[in-house]
Amino acid sequence: MLQGTHDARAKVTNVKTILTAPGGIDLVVVKVETNQPGLYGLGCATFTQRIYGVEAAIENYMKPFLIGKDPSRIEDIWQSACVSGYWRSGPIMNNALSGIDMALWDIKGKLAGMPVYELLGGKCRDGIPLYRHADGEDEFAVEDNIHALMAEGYQYVRCQMGMYGGAGTDDMKLIATQYAKAKNIQPKRSPRTRTPGIYFDPEAYVKSVPRLFDHLRNKLGFGIEFIHDVHERVTPIAAVQLAKNLEQYHLFYLEDPVAPENIEWLKIMRQQTSTPISMGELFTNVNEYKSLIINQQIDYIRCHVSTIGGITPAKKLATLSEMCGVRTAWHGPGDISPIGVAANLHLDMSSTNFGIQEITPMNDQLREVFSGCPEIDNGYAYLSDKPGLGIDIDEEKAKQYPCQGGIPSWTMARTPDGTASRP
């Protein structure tokens, strides 16, 4: 079928779930096929820690729901699918819905002969600024890694020392990278027996962060933007203190300072400090953002697009944020597929209140399985003008990288006395 040729008889004929791990991280991809020759769409439904749950939701519920429907009716399909189980939201069903939603936008772009960002309002910028992660066992190693990223052209860097909470990580399923523990964070002594887990000391960690940024600003100045991710690892009052102590270092933003269960503390934080706050990668329902945006208690929506249901709700959330002076900072970790990366970038390109985009490097295996990955150059991402999301998948090559499943060790966080903690 010719690109841009609309056929009112287009119907969904099949929905496939593809599990693959070419980057060492389990990914879930949805392929929506139609009765038009060569016309299909791809979406990202990756919930790495529950891939088989998402696969079952797609195969048992989303697939029979979708077959026979007109793929152009994206809004109607999203709304009806969202309530088809009566109880709404949740990461498993939302990722299943997101995979379908992205695939339908991919199909619509192919029918229109346009990239998805054109359907969302067109370009708002010429390139998409990115940030990368710089980690290290101490402030000197972090500084060295920042220098390396600056040499690649990055003007925004997320700075961590010993990953989250200083604990480091050997779990390649987190970001396909190993990080050493922070050697200048001395955790408290544990009891004589230790329940298995990844141990960190929240009090020692939170004291180390201002020291890190004091070093970085003294060595690198204020000509580069810094981000730090608390990853909900400290108590709410400690998060308030940390935000105040970091104010002099002018962070671009402080991410996830509190857990979703404690978002009422953001009002207190806003009253106490001008450090910009990003929040929300753990939210699964767009309504969790509503009061934070309307009341200007956050500065960036830190949103995992597949976990809230895809492009359709994300665009609405971006529009609400724009009206309230809040900017976007979509979640871009290693545990989303290149299709999910493309969805983020199409939203970035078409949102005037874009703030920044996280990017995780793709290895050769990912680029082999997923063709059309965006170009990254000198700290910017560039989308092609291909219709739809612009990404394709080689299903045979995807089979060469089977998923492993299981529960990643990095989520088993514990404090020094053995108490289970937010990861």
Integer Cα distance of 122 and 136 in angstroms = 39
The residues near 407 (Cβ < 8 Å, ≥ 6 apart) are: 49
- Strands, E assignment, 25-155: 27-34, 40-44, 128-134
Point out the catalytic residue in the list 164, 249, 253, 401: 164
Catalytic residue, candidates 228, 231, 304, 346: 231
Task: Examine the residue annotation and report whether 164 is marked as an active-site residue of this protein.
Answer: yes
Burial-class residue 186 by CB neighbours within 10 Å (0-12, 13-18, 19+).
Answer: exposed
For 165, left (φ over 0), alpha (ψ -120 to 50), or beta? left
Phi-psi region of 381 (alpha: psi -120 to 50; beta: other; left: phi over 0): beta
CB 166 within 8 A of CB 407: no
Distances (CA, A) of 329 to 222, 239, 253: 21, 20, 10
Helix axes 311-323, 338-350, angle to 10 degrees: 30
State the pairing for strand pair 413-414/375-377.
unpaired
Q: Is 401 a catalytic residue?
A: no
Both structure tokens of 380: 């910017």
Scored b (16 or more CB within 10 A) or e, 387-401 reads bbbbbbbeeeebeeb
Q: Hey, which residues are catalytic here?
A: 164, 231
